[in-house]
Structure formats: C-alpha cells, structure tokens
Amino acid sequence: MRISFVFGTRPEAIKLAPVIKEFARNNLFELNICFTGQHKDMVIPILKLFNINIHVNLETMSKDQQLSEVVGVMFTEIGKYLSKIKPDVVFVQGDTTTAMVAATVAFFAGIKVAHVEAGLRTNDIYSPFPEEFNRVVISKITNFHFAATKNAFNNLLNEGVSSEHICLTGNTGIDALVFASKNKSHNLLKFLPEHVLDKKIVLITCHRRENFGLKFKNICKAVKELSEKFPDVNFIYPVHLNPNVNSPARKLLSDIDNVILIEPIDYFDFVQLMNKSYLIITDSGGIQEEAPSLNKPLLIIRENTERQEGVTAGTAILAGTSTRKIVERTTTLLENKDLYLKMTKIKNPFGDGMASKRIHEYLESKLK
C-alpha cells in the first residue's frame, strides 16, 4: 500500500512529521514524501530535526509569484508527481495552497485523499484568505477526514460528511510538541544573550497573508507602544522571511532596545523559546494549539479564528488587529496576575499527543 505525503510549508511539515513517523513503523505501508517548496528555506531543517527524508522536491516557488501563478505551477508539478508515483492514498494537512492543489489533483486522478486537521471553519470565505477556501474545497473531495476537535467534527457533519468518514483525533501539532519537548540539547543562548532571557519575555509571531499591509503596521505599532509602556519586558519576534512581513517589521521595530528581532529559528528551539516566554502574541494557528500545553496564555492578533476552542476554554484571547485593542489586552495580561494564572491552568482543548496513533489505526482499519 503506497501512501504519499505532500506538503510545502513549515506548519505542514511539523504537523505531518509525527504522522509520517507513525506510519513508517508499519511495513504494510510504502511511504513517499513530496515537498513542493512553498517554504523552501524553512522546511528542510524541520525534516532534519525529525529525521525524515524527502523523496521528491518539486521546487515550485520563484520570486514575486502571484497566488494564481503558484497554484498553476503546483497543479502541473504535483500532477506529474502523482502520475509517476501512483499512490493509493495522498495525505495533506491543513489549508495551504499545497494541500488544496494536492488534494484536487489526487481527486482528478481517482486517488483517495486523507486530510489531517479537517473541518476547521470561520464560515467567512475571505477570512483567512485563501485558507478558508482551501479547506472547504479539500473537504468536498476527501475520503478520510481527520478532525482535531469536536467542533471540527461537527462542522463536517453539518456539511453532509458521513460520520463513518470522520475520525476525531486531536491535533498532530501536540504530538510534535511532545516529541520536541523531550529534546534537551537545544540552547537558547546560541541566538539570544543571557541578559535578554533573564527578563520577562513576550514572544511575538505574525506572518499570515490576511494581516499584510495596514493590519501588520497596526500590529507593529502596538508592539512599539507596549515596549515603551513595559521597558522591563523583552518582546522577542522571530521575523518571517516573507518580504511582506520582513521589510515592514524591520523598518518599524529595528531601533527599539527591548524589541529583539531575530531570524526564524528551528522548531525545537522555538518550543524552548515558547516555554521560556511569559505570554505569546500570535496570528499562528499552530501556536494557538501548542501554547496551552506549555501553560502559556495567548493573544490572537486576528479578527476571527477557526480555532475557537481555545477562546471558549479560556486559553486564548482574541485581540483583533487594531493597535488599541492589542495594547489593551496585552496590558491586562501583563498586569492582571489572577487572570494570567487562571489561563495557565486550563487544560489544552486541542489534543493529548496521541493524534498520530489514532490516524494510523483508523486508516489501517479502513484499508484492510
């Protein structure tokens, strides 16, 4: 039984890595790993950390591509790849352009599709863009839906997917986090000086397409205001390589003593940095899922989130993207000790570290 895993971004690699390792233990399955190159400088180090080798690198990305150009190239190259490999099942993860195209091409070829982290919805086709479109399309053509939460499971049921084709798994990102947390060889001092780590840390990540432009400038303004309001707090921001993020971030935040801009760091180091932080400000979906396992309160800098479970449970606060709201909500968490402690004690609603095992067992039972 041949299974192809197709991915292109760092979050996909992180969340598929434990699934790949789980399936690799079973001689019933022949695995083929395909990387589309969507995050070409950020994925290979992840795979090395998890000791996973790719079989095919499609190298679909080039400078200044429009989204339509990316999609066009991927349809062609993934089509050639699947025609050559002829897998029985194609695994995709999440809601990236790679996932949507790979699932669609597999569907065209009559190949079964397995979708990890199925059923996320904001019910606004433009937010996040194009991720909401991508995941809705994938769900229409998927054979095996692996829903991370009960909300996602119910979303699929409400769209007419039979419960026989859905497996409630938990999130594979938590599996990766558990694996990474056991690795003690990574030292934050190799990229951050001790005097930075000795202070209270607010960790920041921001990279989503929906926040490009004015929203991103507002977020940077909020960080600047917070740095002035809390001079004894260090705001650490590993800046994404995308020029829509990198250029304005460095222009607006470079000359502030307690705002530390660093290059993207490997996943294991990033887990250590999350663990060292006091709280996290992010637009990342994966970090929304991971932070509660590390008992770190979270501020979501988006207008809405498809991971509502964290907001409902109380592990996260939806801050929006206005400068004023971000400053207000961050100030509350930095000053209100009772609220902060309450948020650190809530059980993670996104998973328990066993998702990959459930995916493997479910698919094996379906393919026998």
Pairing of strands 56-57, 30-35: parallel
For residues 315-337, give the mean pLDDT.
97
CATH 3.40.50.2000 domain span(s) along the chain: 2-170+353-367, 189-344
CB 10 within 8 Å of CB 96: no
Q: What is the Cα–Cα distance from 249 to 252, expressed in whole angstroms?
A: 5
Mean pLDDT score across all residues of the chain: 94
Average pLDDT in the 35-53 region?
89
Give yes or no for residue 243 having a pLDDT over 90: no
Classified as helix, coil or strand, 346 is coil
Cα–Cα separations (whole angstroms), residue 14 to 45, 52, 247 = 11, 11, 26
pLDDT confidence of residue 174: 96
In this predicted structure, the answer to whether residue 186 has a pLDDT above a threshold of 70 is no
CATH number for the segment(s) 2-170+353-367: 3.40.50.2000
Overall size of the chain counted in residues:
368
pTM for this model (two decimals): 0.86
Is the Cβ–Cβ distance between 309 and 151 less than 8 Å?
yes
Distance from C-alpha of 37 to C-alpha of 33, rounded to nearest angstrom:
12
Q: Identify the CATH homologous superfamily for domain 189-344.
A: Glycogen Phosphorylase B; (3.40.50.2000)
Reported as a pLDDT band with limits 50, 70 and 90, residue 41 is: confident
- Looking up tokens 């650490």 gives 236
Task: List the beta bridge partners of residue 204.
Answer: 281
Residue 310: which residues within 8 A CB-CB, separation 6 or more?
288, 289, 292, 298, 300, 316, 349, 350
pLDDT tens string 60-94: 988 888 999 999 999 999 999 999 999 999 999 99
Q: What is the pLDDT of residue 266?
A: 86
- Residue 187 has a pLDDT of 76
Give mean pLDDT, residues 26-40.
93
CA atoms within 13 A on the CB side of 174: 23
Kindly list the catalytic residues.
Answer: 95, 117, 131, 207, 209, 240
Tell me the C-alpha distance between 197 and 259, whole Å. 12
